[in-house]
A = this chain, B = another copy of it.
Amino acid sequence: MKAYKDYTTEELKELETVLKIRYKEFQSRGLQLNMARGKPCSEQLDLSMGMMDVLSGDDDLLCEDGTDCRNYGVLDGIKEAKILIGDMMEVAPDNVIIYGNSSLNVMYDTISRSMTHGVMGSTPWCKLDKVRFLCPVPGYDRHFAITQYFGIEMINIPMSPEGPDMDLVEKLVSEDDSIKGIWCVPKYSNPQGYSYSDLTVRRFARLKPAAKDFRIYWDNAYSIHHLYDNDQDHLLEILAECKRAGNPDLVYKFASTSKISFPGSGIAAIATSHNNLEDIRKQLTIQTIGHDKVNQLRHVRYFGDIHGMVEHMRKHADILRPKFELVEQILEDELAGLEIGTWTKPRGGYFISFDALDGCAKAIVARCKNAGVMMTGAGATYPYGNDPHDSNIRIAPSYPPLADLETACRLFVLCVKLESVKKLLAEREA
């Protein structure tokens, strides 16, 4: 394929005419498709329906240690759940606190607690003039929304396939004690699907932050969310690395079963050092009478152990893989060689990241919307919704059925072509 930039102006204009006709055809179809969020599809949810039957009215709802899951008590999670989720998070059960259904809620509460009570005795952040967070970009919009909500200033850190730019991270963190954290999705990152290299993880564990209350916010949301059986990313376990590096308290690790069991009713958890856990428990004992132990028991009885969970994830992969491959195939077929966009080819997670020509992302997403296909808002992958290049678009292939996904992708590449042509023509006119 010839790159668009090598087209003559005449050729570009002809192409624009053809693309506009095709776009109008799409518009006339009254599509209503959604590729905006990393939402599992119905077939994936059906995989976990057995969970509705593992606890029956005829059973007891007792833990192995005799705890009645129906009653009050057990602030930080039943032992069985700590073992299961500990295995999932690759940490010891006693490094884990089990929460309710949303790891986002755990992260929010972690920031909120730091605002009002500081971290392990530090000055509450609300008493400080300035609090800053590092944000590898592109990244997860809901992370950025939390820090923005609390008035925390966000600093962009460029991502590479190895992870965040660690030279920059090390420099900023060691120089500036107003920097209190960094948001990380270290495996199958949102939206690029990158997994941090061993060197990156080791450099994280060896950070020397100016702020004692600096923590790495390690949202390992896709730890076992592989697309392939034999072609998986591996991530160094950060708690162990931090301990080894003499920085045991440096990291909060977050996870949930939202994309393993049910998005609305999984269980979430934090894993961190005993010092951090003690700090967290001081708050937790004030905040709640404990999280839903019946649902913890339900997860334990359903999955049995980590092997059951891994087996279960294979079924998710079987549903998701064709969707990712379809998107990649269409991008490849339609865009390869045109030099109007690049995209990632993740081996897991929920997203494909697409980079359009600078200044085209907003227009592409708007154009998709005007033909009935919702994409993640352009800019959403950057703090303050501000993508300085206006180029990144997050593609979420999980939710639509394959046929709809194909339609949505065909429209998407059409919009990419059309906006790219318009940009090139505008440049030549200028």
A93 at interface by CB-CB < 8 Å: no
Copies of this chain, how many?
2
Q: Which of A57, A71, A105 has the most CB of B within 10 A?
A: A71
A287 at interface by CB-CB < 8 Å: yes
A112 at interface by CB-CB < 8 Å: yes
The distance in angstroms between the C-alpha atoms of A69 and B45, with both chains bound, is 10
Contact B104 A289 (CB under 8 A): yes
A291 proximity list for chain B (CB < 8 A): 100-102, 264
A116 at interface by CB-CB < 8 Å: yes
Tell me, rounded to whole Å, the shortest Cβ–Cβ distance linking A129 to chain B.
12
Contact partner, A72, options B72, B145, B264, B292, Cβ 8 Å: B264
Contact B70 A101 (CB under 8 A): no
Contact A100 B286 (CB under 8 A): no
The distance in angstroms between the C-alpha atoms of A101 and B42, with both chains bound, is 26
A108 at interface by CB-CB < 8 Å: yes
A126 proximity list for chain B (CB < 8 A): 115-116, 124, 126-127
Contact A52 B59 (CB under 8 A): yes
Question: Considering only CB atoms, which chain B residue lies closest to A40 in the complex?
Answer: B71
Q: Which of A48, A53, A292 has the most CB of B within 10 A?
A: A292
Contact partner, A265, options B73, B263, B286, B295, Cβ 8 Å: B295
A115 proximity list for chain B (CB < 8 A): 115-116, 126
Q: Which of A40, A50, A55, A287 has the most CB of B within 10 A?
A: A287
Interface size class of A (residues with CB under 8 A): 35 or more
Contact A52 B45 (CB under 8 A): no
Tell me, rounded to whole Å, the shortest Cβ–Cβ distance linking A136 to chain B.
20
A310 at interface by CB-CB < 8 Å: no
Tell me, rounded to whole Å, the shortest Cβ–Cβ distance linking A34 to chain B.
11
Contact B101 A265 (CB under 8 A): no
Contact partner, A68, options B45, B61, B104, B295, Cβ 8 Å: B45
Q: Which of A284-322 contact B (CB under 8 A)?
A: 286-295
Q: Which of A102, A264, A283 has the most CB of B within 10 A?
A: A264
The distance in angstroms between the C-alpha atoms of A380 and B140, with both chains bound, is 44
In the A-B complex, the 10 residue pairs with the closest CB atoms: A49-B57, A265-B294, A126-B126, A265-B292, A105-B288, A70-B262, A108-B287, A45-B70, A72-B263, A264-B293
A-B contacts, 22 listed (Cβ < 8 Å): A40-B71, A42-B68, A48-B70, A52-B55, A52-B56, A53-B56, A69-B264, A70-B264, A100-B100, A102-B290, A102-B291, A109-B287, A115-B115, A126-B126, A142-B289, A149-B283, A149-B286, A264-B291, A264-B294, A265-B295, A292-B292, A295-B295
